[in-house]
Structure 1
């Protein structure tokens, strides 16, 4: 009967198909909001970015190379976890409607980064190395290994029958929301907006603003799932789960801090690996607060250009009509920093 009737709790095994009466209207409203905020890659104008790349320093170009190499596979990992784990175990049709929309958005992000790579890195061999970043760039491989370990942690679970299995699932969900989307991607966005504050790569920044908005919505959904599970099964949220979350957060910050040292190791004026770590700790405290946990790091945001970023540019989204999209940009671009 689990195929037609409502389960007692969100993480109960089954395949609920009943949308009325609606048990979790918040998920349905998130789905509706996501539909209203549709955008396309064709609206992003990269026409000035190629010229910006020519006038950047070698250290800045190295930053951009490493950044787009991470972007090339980051959202694909998130999409795999969504399909293999989240959709299977979050047992509410309105929640699965949102997850279906999120999968579309992850594919859209992959298309955006594919177009970004085609525009920024015209040489096929350099582009191949960028797509293979998880294999040949240690700082990116470390982040990918972190993601895959948590993806694999629940992939073998066919059902969430026990408390231990549900805690494993919640840790996977929290990892991808708080650490992958909430730290890895937010750290990457900081580099983009730093470059924009220098008057560089406005096409990248414009597209990233829409990705930023999507990722923020993905986090809100995941944290609403966690909050719902806490209300329905408070016994799942014990001291052991809290310790695991803190250990996970520490490891994610360490991974992203190493990535910052890689990106900024050649010396980029105006940005340091130390400040990036402080920003990551600031973001981590926000994620912990959202989870109802005490702040751990006590860091302040060192990047003024990130203040209120989630409402900048996208506020007037429906008033914008960008049509000068270019992917086949003429001219040669040579990025000398090695992958």
Structure 2
């Protein structure tokens, strides 16, 4: 067990490097560096005041309330449940970079809330969303149900503990980052397709690239662990993964019903559920599993936004061009 990715302990040897793919992911992430100060929210304030109706405003308020806590849950899981168990220094280099990116996302959403919700009482309510908004509390409870089992484990010693680790990582990357956040991105890009909240969409472009990289890394960890210990990914674990994704889709559908309860033209809970099922099938494919839901992408505006963003992004910043050419992120695969 001493040379496996999920062996207990902290291997410190970078040469010879056992998993160079993780080091390359770290280097790609460095090329994707951005700062919150680059995001211009000034026009968003006008949109919020003059262009959004009650239904759209409710959508935005629910969205920023989710953002206020979502990345903190992710950061805590990285520190408490993942870093200590992935036994390769090059992989831990990537996780260190990911933790920085999650802190950057927390800063982005903090700035977003301060800008969008000038009333301190409204801001406080948003940051306490897990306690006072049932649809967000349900998502948090789903996260904790699947990821908290690792918190009591200091060293992965048994096959069952390694299976628990894989389930944590699949929930983390596939459901939280790959479903909950991708649903949030869809709301943002829908608003941008109507010419609204371009500052939010601009910052989301950066967050999207980060999250796509996080998923690529996590799925590579899972793939590597499966190759080293094929018996871990047995029929029971596959059934648990399907159950997890079904629960995640249900959770996010409830959130969609809340977010869209005012009646947002061009978006419906039914379409959002179809999009979630489509995303879930993409994640299952990344895990080497057959598609479960069989749904297609109902949101044509996502493809339009992809093309628009790539054009604007390449014109705006050279470093983005590097990532676009060399990185692992592919828009058509993500959506």
In the superposition, the TM-score normalised over structure 2's length comes to: 0.92
What is the match of residue 242 of structure 1?
A: 238
Deviations along 1:46-67, one digit per CA (max 9) or x if unpaired, are: 1100111122110100000000
Shift of 1:315: 6.4
Deviation at 1:314, TM superposition (A): 5.3
Instruction: Provide the aligned C-alpha RMSD in A.
Output: 1.4
Matched, 1:258 2:250: no
Equivalenced residues, count: 316
> Aligned to 2:13, what secondary structure does the other structure show?
coil
1:112 aligned residue: 108
Higher helix share: 2
1:248-283 CA-to-partner distances (Å, cap 9, x unmatched) read 000000000000000001100110000000000000
Residue of structure 1 in register with 2:293 after alignment: 297
CA distance in 1, matches of 2:115, 2:90: 38
State the match for 1:76 in structure 2: 72
In the alignment, is the contact (CA less than 8 A) between 1:69 and 1:133 conserved in 2?
Answer: yes
In the alignment, which of 222, 227, 235 is matched to residue 223 of structure 2?
227
Runs of 4+ in 1 over 6 A off after TM superposition: none
Contact 1:209-1:310 at 8 Å conserved across structures: no
Range that drifts further, 150-159 or 179-188: 150-159
Contact 2:7 2:156 in 1 (8 A): yes
For structure 2, list consecutive stretches of 5 or more residues without a partner in the other structure: 318-335
315 and 17 in structure 1: CA distance in 2 versus 1, 3 angstrom threshold: farther
CA distance 1:168–1:309, shift in 2 (3 Å): farther
Aligned to 1:203: 199
* TM-score for both structures, normalised by structure 1: 0.91
Q: Alpha carbons of 1:308 and 1:240: their partners in 2 closer, same or farther (altered >3 Å)? A: farther
| Shift in Å, 1:320 | 2.4
Gaps of 5+ in 1: 1-5, 322-339
Contact residue 213 and residue 310 of structure 1 kept, 8 A: no
Report matched runs for 1:78-227 at 5 Å.
Answer: 78-227=74-223
Alpha-carbon shift at residue 23 of structure 1 (Å): 0.4
Q: Which residue of 1 aligns with 2:43?
A: 48
Secondary structure at the counterpart of residue 118 of structure 2: coil
Structure having greater relative contact order (Cα 8 Å, sep ≥ 6): 1
Q: Aligned partners of 1:232, 1:261: CA distance in 2, in Å?
A: 42
Q: String of CA shifts for 1:303-333, please: whole Å, max 9, x gaps.
A: 0122286675256647526xxxxxxxxxxxx
Conserved? CA contact 2:193–2:305, under 8 Å: no
